[in-house]
Structure 1
Amino acid sequence: MTGRNGRTGGARLLPLTALLLATGCEPRTATPPAPEGSTAEMKLGAGSLSATVRRTAHGIPHVLADDFAGVGYGYGYAFAQDNFCALMDALVTVNAERSRYFGPDGTYLAALGSQYNNLKSDFFYQAINDDGTVEALLAKPPPLGPSQDARELVRGYTAGLNRYLAETGVDGLTDPRCKGAAWVRPITERDLYRRYYQLSLFASSLFFLDALVDAKPPSLLPDGTLPLPLPAPATLDRKVFPSSETLGLGSNAFGLGSQATRNGKGMLLANPHFPWEGSERFYEAHLTVPGKLNVSGVSLLGVPAILIGHNETLAWSHTVSTAYRFTPFELKLIPGFPTKYLYDGQIRDMTTRTVTVQAKAADGSLTPRQHTFYRSHLGPMMEYPSGLMTWNGLTGYAFHDANASNLRLLDAFFAMDRAANVEELHTAQATWQGIPWVNTIATDAQGRAYYADMSVVPHVTDAKLLRCVLSPIPLLVLASAGLPVLDGSRSDCALGSDADAVEPGIFGPGSLPRLTRADYVTNSNDSYWLPNPAQPLTGFPRILGGEKNVRSLRTRLGLKMVQGRIAGTDGLAGQGFTLEQLQTVMFNNRNYSGELLRDAAVSLCRRTPFVLMPDLSFEDLRPACPVLAAWDLKGDLDSRGELLWRVFLFTAVGATGGPYLVPFNANDPVNTPRTLNTLNPQVAQALGTAIRTLRERGIPLDATTGSVQGKRKNGVFYPVHGCAHDEGCFNQIANQLLPDGTYEPVLGSSFVMAVSFTDAGPVAKSVLTYSQSTNPASPWYADQTAMFSQKQWVDRRYTEAEIAADPALTVTHLQE
């Protein structure tokens, strides 16, 4: 039987009883799924698929099987026990059936933090399904289509999901959200591939779903003419286009090499900032096929490969990349004919596709609803006024999505699961080129730290920008947001290609940034430029995110924390990281904006007791002075003053010219900008606004963070530590403001994992902030939320001995 090393050992699965006896433990008995603290062993069915699911504390499944189909089978079954309804809801979406079951006027929350209308969503997905996009990609040979290994994994995963549904029946589901629901049915492999395709589009087409559905030829104005393009303003807000902030996604990650750790081996911190609700939650699992696979970590709902995690000798995480995944093209339309456009001097006609979906009426009957999409040869038409891209009498905008042919993501992640070191990790990424929208930060047992943005990016060089971004609106979009809007009237402005790219139109791996070092790399959602300030990455195309531009406070704090631990200047013992110190650094809850600006704000408060507000009234600042002076500059549960600072800073960052006196300096990016500009009257007004805001909410100025920020589950309030991105908090928590003036986390620190390689193998600690299950009836619905509230960590079980020794162990044998 394989030990810690998943790359060695016999290919035959030993009977679990023999395995447990070999580790000195006896099998236990009970009926799964069982609450934590009970034990179980149960044999179910017989057939060609088989797996053993061992659950340890907090419901984490450890799936053991002879082959990839089997490990997928066990994983699908275990996942369904915890999150079947959540996955079914996502599959209703990708199958364009939300209007059928929930009505056309309803909305749902997407991972992008946006409310999507059911009918518009259905039109979008129905167009993809009518085109047979997923089916066409499935028919392609690898790497454009899935490998046989991935197909086997999905085959087994599908069977495992359906095994669970067959055992419970629709009416026997324990989750009230879909118990007895008409939209619950057996799942097909095609359903899951549609889900994976959806994941590829999150940072591109899905962000523009409304813009793509809303696009239609312009109507005549009252004077009989067609509308003109929108006038170009002086500036354009970058946030109208996708970024980690506007997508509602983010992350931190440290890859620590031999020179940064106490034992000279690799160490990783994974801290993705993903939604706490919806289909983009993480799920913990450990998958083992002896001799082929031994990987532990998390997946997004419905994905049978581990996306963030570790194996015997490699650990990795991801952060949302700044690169754009799409390129609009500005079309020159034929005057009076808005569906005709010029291309290389020739007139071309747009094509149309009309899709039909079924919508539920008030009486429960179904009625067909139709929508027509317009398309140029460069892509579908879009209507995006907030980005100044309107379909008018002179111009229109076509949308090209570089991930529109990407069904490679499952293989890309599954290949990473089996890589032994950072070189093999890079080979996996370069082979599949399926990472849709994230950076990768990794480390291996040999102590090498790795950063790369090996994601799918449209092939737009800076030279192409100079010759193909020429008209006023594209020039403004490029200057304000770095997004290329290319001339769609010339073939020489079409996307380029690299010889090492898996398909035309994207950059190949040789053109993308990566770095391997012996000390460290980090990323907190800024561009590729500065994973380590000692070795900036330069010379890459602007579409990837830019160089020598300001870093976020969160990025700067992450770099400061790593540098301080290596130097031993952070107040902790010694130099270099231990695993325990990495955990401490993760949850130190430092508020970097407070460290930089609080003292100056207190001085301002003391010398300016009253401030004239924009409404010409005066606000007394004196009550804020002692609160801010006594604040511990953290976002801990018992920190007093962080909330006051939060509201102040949110207003101050909007001050004309910004809140800083010392501007950004590209030669000192970790330490600039800095120093509060107390000469700007809007800064003092921001403090007055914060005082008024808390007074109106009935919240004391010295309220603790834990009293006003937390998650309620099954009637229990779990206070949550951490604070916001703009505050410069590494442990980022993004909230929605509730009617009572308190804050409920909606995304931020989600799965947190610290991994250290040792002579005996990997040692890992983790916490899944929102817990393993979305089912309120599950024992694993809130247990880790309570742990996160108290800065507690789960000891991750990786070896067979560790799994067998868990007091909460339950065992299920599956065969089909």
Structure 2
Amino acid sequence: MPRIIKTGFLGLAGLVLTVLTVVLVRGAIEAPAPADPAPMLARAANYDATIKRDTWGVPHIFGKRDVDVAFGFGFAHSEDDFATIQEVAIATRGELASVKGERAAITDYLVNLMGVWETVDARYESDLSPEVRRVIEAYADGVNYYAALHPEEAASGFLPLNGKDVAAGFIFKTPFFYGLDKVLMAVFEGRVGKSGGLSKEGVDAFLPTDEPHPIGSNGVAVSPARSADGATRLLVNSHQPFTGPVAWYEAVLESDEGWHVAGGFFPGSPFMLHGHNAHLGWANTVNEPDLVDVYQLTLKPDDEDQYLLDGEWWDFEKRMARIRVKLWGPFWWTVEREVLRSEHGPVLKTPNGAYAVRYAGIGEIRQVEQYYALDKATQLSEWMEAMKLQALPSINYLYADRQGNIAYIYNAQFPDRKEGVDWSEILPGDDSSLIWRDYLPFDDVPMIVNPNSGYVFNANNTPFRATAANDNLRQEDFSEALGIQSDMTNRAKRLEETYGADTSISGEEFRRYKYDVSYSEDSRMAEIIDEVLAADPGDDVDLKEAQAILRAWDRVANVESRGAALAVLTAEPVVTAGISGQTPPAPMDTLRTAMNRLKTHFGRLDPEWGEVNRFRRGAVDLPVDGAPDVLRAIYGTREEDGTLTAHGGDTFIMFVEWDKAGRLTSESTHQFGSATLDISSPHYADQAPLFVGKRTKPVFFTAEELGPHIAEEYRPGKRAAAAN
């Protein structure tokens, strides 16, 4: 080897060794010290909670005080889903890249850009009541107690969790439900027009992903006026991913201080997010009003640290975000990125210019305050007072109670915007009159309370079709500046065609309509199929066969259907692209792709839908009814063998009923079971057959109902070693 080359290699090797040494030394210096478990173990003595798990493994937490219950729930929740709770907290701290690597750095940057921790530090003591702070801190203590007993499960630097982490999780996640992350990503990527290219898929609250996420939720409330037996009924049916930071977890909480709820919780949340208490309940669906405004800023030609506003040059608020990025093995690196803020809000500098973003929920910390108040409300007036806190930036509410009241609220923090401005487009950043400072009062929010029709519904559709035509809100009564959506989903149309067409709904019908697997004649699916059928097949034998299959298809996606596979595989890419703001492919092209896939893997164009559409969990592998945007919603991942594996859609489902005497019963099902991560547990997939079979189990809401069905009873940290 020539000496000069040998010397070059030695020099390169020395450089690499130097870099690795710096990385390792820096890692040793800056790596967080292990947490001392002693304080976490000691704090557990401040609480007195009992965990009773029913025969389905669902935890029922009992305690004298709300804080006892919150502590016990934090522990039980961790027993089943500690890894996800931990990941939620790490992401909320802006430290996910230290665990997930470079692809998570954008999440950490968003935490900094949104000023999550500036909000927490400034408002935790002033804006949250001592009662709420004690509850969220108790939940954190429960998580910490579990982690102290299982230190091998805790990531380096994670412990201890605290109440601020819990509050920060709500600050970070809630704006993403109406699409803030999609707008920010569009600005990042140069797609700055708010009305174009904003995707409901491809980005979740934590990680960019190529996996489409479920789109939708269903909620229905029926009063005695529309029930065949005088009962009041509520359907809780949010569509979520099957796993991850926004996957549902079921629990029942009961304290002697009046906190008694059953329903769905997210990892990191001590509060029931939707479900019921003894007196009332509610279901949530995602709504998408225009709650984000984007401003194009004019930068000073000779100083890009200043922007123009009302004829004067203003300095950006500026700080540096330090993002720790895992490289490989023990190696990591810290990168620094500038974080800017203007009078409008967070600022992004892109190759296309500088843009500021102002959004509903900016600087808000009281989400936990509102959820706690909702959980403890005992009648409609108290529940409405909790809603008037207006701490939640979006989300529809479908309400019902034991007195027979029902309601629908298109909830949002509507910016108090200037009239006569097209707020759907990019705004000039040099006019301060376009920077709104407050929200409209709660009374201006679209809502329907006790309509004569006796029912309300939502399936992510416009609030102007939420009940019978005569009781609906009128679009002309609301300002265009509110940015209220006007779209209808297939699910919303089917709700009108089922619940809306039946003026005397029995309990059996209420359940059956929820599991409807049909596409409306007035759906996008029907339009796509009509387009395919209108094409001239010429001499193409396969195309003629495909058209015959689709012509005979009844638009029903049950497991026996011989047309659903071809129809869904043809239409889904078209619909998904349209929702994502992309140019949809031609239906004839997606039809050809679907035909090829089915021929290749199933040897025919019309396999039964159940052969293709599968539900898989551990050893469970079952055919499953449902499809995208039907009331029995199932969204699947395309597998190499041609099948689809359900990954989201219908998840936690709850049917709540108060009979005409006000007696409460409820039933539920979870797509998997209470043991969300432990494959060795009998509750890892024990509810899967119920879920696939469209069946439910009782919710043992009271201690008396639970009594005969207790499988385990223990205090946190005292569970029998053999228990799962």
* Distance in structure 2 (CA, Å) of the matches to 1:639 and 1:247: 25
User: What's the CA shift string for 1:145-176, capped at 9, x where partnerless?
Assistant: 22222222112211221222233x223xxxxx
Q: Give the superposition deviation at 1:72.
A: 0.3
Match of 1:11 in 2: none
Is the CA contact 2:407–2:448 (under 8 Å) kept in the aligned structure 1? yes
Letter in 2 for 1:412: Q
Which residue does the alignment assign to 1:521? 456
Residue 377 of structure 1 and its aligned partner are, at CA, apart by 1.9
Indicate how the Cα distance of structure 1 residues 600 and 93 shifts in structure 2: closer, same or farther if over 3 A, else same: closer
Instruction: Note if contact 2:146-2:717 (Cα within 8 Å) is conserved in structure 1.
Output: no
In structure 2, what is the equivalent of residue 405 of structure 1?
A: 363
8 Å CA contact retained: 1:435, 1:456:
yes
In structure 2, how many angstroms separate the alpha carbons of the residues matched to 1:279 and 1:630? 41
Matching of residue 162 in structure 1 with residue 63 in structure 2: no
The alignment's C-alpha RMSD in Å is 3.5
Q: Partner of 1:610 in structure 2? A: 537
| Mapped contact 1:52–1:74 kept (Cα < 8 A) | yes
Counterpart of 1:739 in structure 2 is: 640
Aligned to 1:486: 427
Give the match for residue 16 of structure 2. none
1:257–1:448 CA contact under 8 A, matched in 2: yes
User: Is the CA contact 1:620–1:688 (under 8 Å) kept in the aligned structure 2?
Assistant: no
Gaps of 5+ in 1: 1-43, 106-116, 172-178, 216-228, 385-389, 470-477, 496-503, 567-574, 613-617, 657-680
Partners in 2 of 1:653 and 1:137 — Cα distance? 42
Q: Which amino acid in structure 2 is aligned with residue 146 of structure 1?
A: L
| Aligned counterparts of 1:336 and 1:241: Cα–Cα separation in 2 | 40
Aligned to 2:515: 587
Q: 201-210 or 759-768: which moved more?
A: 201-210
8 Å Cα contact 1:325-1:403 kept in structure 2: no
Query: How far apart are residue 237 of structure 1 and its match?
Result: 4.6
Partner of residue 709 from structure 1, selected from 601, 604, 613: 613
How far did residue 261 of structure 1 move? 1.2
Residues 243, 322 of structure 1: 8 Å contact kept = no
Check 1:130–1:322 CA distance in 2 against 1; reply closer, same or farther (3 A cut). Answer: closer
Given that 2:415 and 2:482 are in contact with CA atoms closer than 8 Å, whether structure 1 keeps it comes out as no
Letter in 2 for 1:400: R
Aligned residue for 1:787, secondary structure, equals helix
The separation in 2 between residues aligned to 1:230 and 1:72, in whole angstroms, is: 43
Check conservation: 1:255, 1:443, Cα contact below 8 A: yes
CA displacement 1:50-95 (0-9 Å, x = unmatched): 1121111321111111111011011111111100111111112122
Unaligned runs of 5+ in 2: 1-41, 205-210, 579-584, 719-724
For residue 804 of structure 1, the aligned residue among 703, 707, 723 is 707
Q: 1:139 to 1:721 in 2, by over 3 A?
A: same
Deviation at 1:305, TM superposition (A): 0.9
> What's the offset of the Cα at 1:383?
5.4
Which residue in the other structure is 1:751 paired with? 652
Is it true that 1:263 corresponds to 2:229 in the alignment?
yes
Change (3 A) 1:298 1:543: farther
1:521 is paired with a residue whose SS is: strand
Aligned match of 2:566 in 625, 644, 652?
A: 644
Q: How far off is 1:401 after superposition? A: 2.4
1:351-374, Cα deviation, whole Å (9 max, x unpaired): 321122333344614432111123
Asked if structure 1 preserves the Cα contact closer than 8 Å seen for 2:616 and 2:622, the reply is: yes
Please tell me whether residue 787 in structure 1 is matched to residue 690 in structure 2. Answer: yes
Question: Which of 45, 56, 59 is 2:57 aligned to?
Answer: 59
Counterparts in 2 of 1:407 and 1:653: CA distance versus 1, 3 Å: closer
Q: How does 1:219-258 map to 2 (within 5 A)?
A: 236-237=196-197, 239=199, 248-258=214-224
Summarize deviations over 1:228-250 as a string: whole Å, max 9, x none: x99999x8456489999997542
Deviates more, 1:318-327 or 1:197-206: 197-206
CA distance in 1, matches of 2:116, 2:54: 43
Aligned residues: 657
Q: How does 1:469-548 map to 2 (within 5 A)?
A: 469=422, 483-495=424-436, 504-518=437-451, 519-532=454-467, 533-537=469-473, 538=475, 539-546=477-484
- Name the CA distance, whole Å, in 1 between partners of 2:200 and 2:300: 29
Q: 1:598–1:628: 8 Å Cα contact kept in structure 2?
A: no
Q: TM-score, normalised by structure 1?
A: 0.74
TM-superposed CA distance for 1:715, in Å, is 4.2
**1:319 positional shift:** 0.7
Matched letter for residue 285 of structure 1: A
After superposition, the Cα gap between the structure-2 partners of 1:292 and 1:231, relative to the gap in structure 1 and judged at 3 Å, is: closer
- Report the CA distance between 1:99 and its aligned residue: 2.8
- One-letter identity of the residue aligned with 1:754: F
Q: Which has the higher helix share?
A: 2
Shift of 1:295: 1.3
Amino acid at match of 1:133: T
Q: In the alignment, does 2:182 pair up with 1:207? A: yes
1:512–1:540 Cα contact (<8 Å) kept: no
Matched letter for residue 286 of structure 1: V
User: Kindly tell me: are residues 700 and 57 of structure 1, through their superposed partners in 2, closer, same or farther at Cα, counting changes over 3 Å?
Assistant: farther
- Counterpart position of 2:97: 99
Shift of 1:314: 0.8
- How far apart are 1:513 and its partner, in Å? 0.8
Contact 2:462 2:487 (C-alpha < 8 Å) held by counterparts: no
**1:327 equivalent among 290, 293, 310:** 293
Matching residue of 1:560: 497
In structure 2, C-alpha distance between the alignment counterparts of 1:238 and 1:192, rounded to whole Å: 29
Q: Identity over the aligned pairs, expressed in percent?
A: 23
2:415 is the counterpart of 1:458: yes
Q: Tell me the TM-score normalised to structure 2 length.
A: 0.82
Give the Cα separation in 2 of the matches to 1:201 and 1:596: 28
Given that 2:193 and 2:425 are in contact with CA atoms closer than 8 Å, whether structure 1 keeps it comes out as no
Q: Secondary structure at the match of 1:190?
A: helix
Partners of 2:712 and 2:85 in 1: CA distance:
24
Partner of 1:424: 382
Query: Aligned equivalents of 2:323 and 2:224: distance in 1?
Result: 57
